[in-house]
């Protein structure tokens, strides 16, 4: 008996020594008592076309979200015709790895199927028609993954920077009511799913005021809302981190979880959405080439001082998240490695950016290596 025991102990020790090498601490393990560590996955990833990416996602992350394949125009491109293939694979990918899966996004003005808010003559539909389409869409999508998706970004980006409502088709047709309706439909479809509202520039005072009011109003009406998503597409010169922190605190004061839902930090000069982006398209080819030299400044790699500044600022951002870990339930990067980040093409195409947790060679960025080595 004793001999059998010692043999099996020896076997266990050998297996352990084997599987533990090479010993690379996982980011998700470091943060396990703080919050989930997530990443947005493109379709090519869940289709097995990025094996290296797969190994880092499987090791370091415990939460995923669909980068595109659950958006309205992708999943219901024509009325009543659903394209489930990629979304099904994404949900299964998460389940196979024991990850938390978030659904993104049910009601959003962007990547909205052209038919969704229009009639056959191209005019906006009536409130009754839009309500039915919203309800049918939400019931179909949320219903399909009932019990398998932890929570949904129910409404995405409904508010402008100054706190006013975006004049989206949803707002034009239904007014402010489209938000409570979307939350009601989502709750009907999966009463156990968590429900979130999500937006960018959440550090701005206008957005802060608007979202605290929206969330409190939903709660007063007895509607379910669990989380406020701060997308956090940030840069080297914005946001002011004190304002950002203030937003985390104020959103948490509503009783909702705060989620960092789409984190990335551009290392490139900030492009003004209105002025710069508008004028770029009016330029001649030659002018554009010249302008790009000032906007795409590191096509061949980040200079050391810029890389250091980027890593230092990301370390500061992570320290803020840790400090408020009692309020934050998930920190999700919008992508995994720099080469596939949407920021290479936004707000203007043709740039080489460095915004994510892993570099183009799939190496973990230094700020995070330091954090997890502690
Ligand atoms: C982006 C995707 O990353 C791109 O691939 C796509 O072309 C456009 O949308 N806010 C959101 C995300 O809520 O869905 C957006 O994702 C980025 C901004």
Q: Write out pLDDT tens, residues 201-240.
A: 999 999 999 999 999 999 999 999 999 999 999 999 999 9
Which atom from ligand 1 is nearest to the alpha carbon of 342? 3
Nearest-angstrom CA–CA distance, 133 and 343: 32
Q: How many residues does the chain have?
A: 374
Per-residue model confidence as pLDDT tens digits over 161-194: 999 999 999 999 999 999 999 999 999 999 999 9
Name the least confident of 7-11, 245-249, 348-352: 7-11
Q: Whose CA is nearest to atom 13 of ligand 1?
A: 156
Per-residue model confidence as pLDDT tens digits over 46-72: 999 999 999 999 999 999 999 999 999
pLDDT level of residue 333 (50, 70, 90 thresholds): very high
Share of the chain above pLDDT 70, in %: 94
Average pLDDT over residues 146-158: 98
- Cis peptide bond prior to 136, omega within 30° of 0: no
Distance 305 CA to ligand 1 centre (A): 29
Residue 2 has pLDDT above 50, yes or no: no
Contact 153 CB / ligand 1 (< 6 Å)? no
Per-residue model confidence as pLDDT tens digits over 109-130: 999 999 999 999 999 999 999 9
Mean pLDDT of the chain: 93
Distance 45 CA to ligand 1 centre (A): 16
Residue 18 has pLDDT above 50, yes or no: no
Residue 6 has pLDDT above 70, yes or no: no
- 74 in catalytic set: no
- 79 in catalytic set: no
Distance 68 CA to ligand 1 centre (A): 7
pLDDT for 276 = 76
pLDDT for 3 = 42
Determine contact, residues 258/248, Cβ cutoff 8 Å.
yes
pLDDT for 19 = 37
Residue 16 has pLDDT above 80, yes or no: no
Mutate to test the pocket of ligand 1, among 38, 42, 45, 68 (most ligand atoms within 8 A of CB): 68
pTM comes to: 0.93
Q: Whose CA is nearest to atom 5 of ligand 1?
A: 342
Catalytic residue among 128, 157, 160, 194: 157
Distance 67 CA to ligand 1 centre (A): 6
Q: Whose CA is nearest to atom 7 of ligand 1?
A: 342
Per-residue model confidence as pLDDT tens digits over 266-299: 999 998 877 778 788 888 988 888 888 899 999 9
Per-residue model confidence as pLDDT tens digits over 238-262: 999 999 999 999 999 999 999 999 9
pLDDT for 22 = 54
Determine contact, residues 175/131, Cβ cutoff 8 Å.
no
pLDDT for 4 = 41
Which atom from ligand 1 is nearest to the alpha carbon of 71? 14
pLDDT level of residue 7 (50, 70, 90 thresholds): very low
């Amino acid at each position: 008996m004793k001999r059998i025991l010692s043999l099996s102990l020896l076997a266990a020790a050998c297996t352990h020594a084997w599987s533990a090498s090479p010993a690379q601490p996982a980011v998700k393990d470091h943060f396990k008592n703080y919050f989930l560590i997530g990443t947005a996955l493109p379709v090519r990833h869940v289709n097995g076309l990025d094996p290296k990416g797969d190994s880092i996602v499987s090791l370091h992350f415990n939460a995923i979200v669909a980068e595109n394949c659950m958006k309205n125009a992708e999943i219901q491109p024509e009325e009543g015709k659903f394209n489930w293939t990629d979304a099904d694979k994404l949900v299964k990918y998460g389940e196979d790895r024991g990850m938390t899966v978030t659904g993104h996004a049910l009601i959003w003005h962007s990547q909205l199927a052209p038919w969704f808010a229009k009639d056959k003559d191209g005019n906006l539909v009536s409130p009754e028609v839009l309500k039915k389409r919203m309800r049918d869409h939400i019931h179909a999508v949320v219903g399909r993954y009932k019990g398998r998706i932890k929570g949904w970004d129910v409404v995405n980006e409904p508010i402008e920077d100054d706190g006013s409502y975006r004049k989206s088709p949803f707002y034009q047709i239904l007014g402010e009511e489209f938000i409570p309706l979307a939350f009601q439909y989502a709750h009907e479809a999966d009463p156990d799913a968590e429900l979130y509202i999500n937006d960018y520039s959440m550090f701005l005072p206008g957005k802060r005021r608007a979202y605290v009011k929206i969330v409190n109003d939903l709660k007063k009406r007895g509607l379910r809302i669990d989380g406020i998503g701060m997308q956090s597409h940030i840069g080297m010169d914005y946001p002011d981190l004190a304002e950002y922190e203030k937003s985390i605190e104020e959103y948490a004061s509503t009783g909702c979880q705060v989620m960092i839902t789409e984190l990335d930090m551009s290392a490139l000069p900030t492009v003004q959405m209105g002025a710069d982006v508008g004028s770029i398209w009016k330029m001649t080819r030659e002018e554009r080439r010249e302008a790009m030299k000032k906007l795409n400044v590191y096509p061949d790699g980040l200079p050391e001082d810029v890389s250091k500044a980027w890593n230092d600022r990301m370390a500061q951002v992570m320290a803020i998240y840790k400090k408020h870990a009692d309020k934050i339930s998930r920190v999700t990067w919008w992508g995994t490695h720099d080469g596939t980040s949407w920021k290479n093409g936004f707000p203007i195409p043709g740039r080489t950016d460095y915004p994510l947790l892993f570099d183009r060679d799939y190496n973990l960025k230094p700020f995070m290596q330091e954090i997890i080595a502690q």
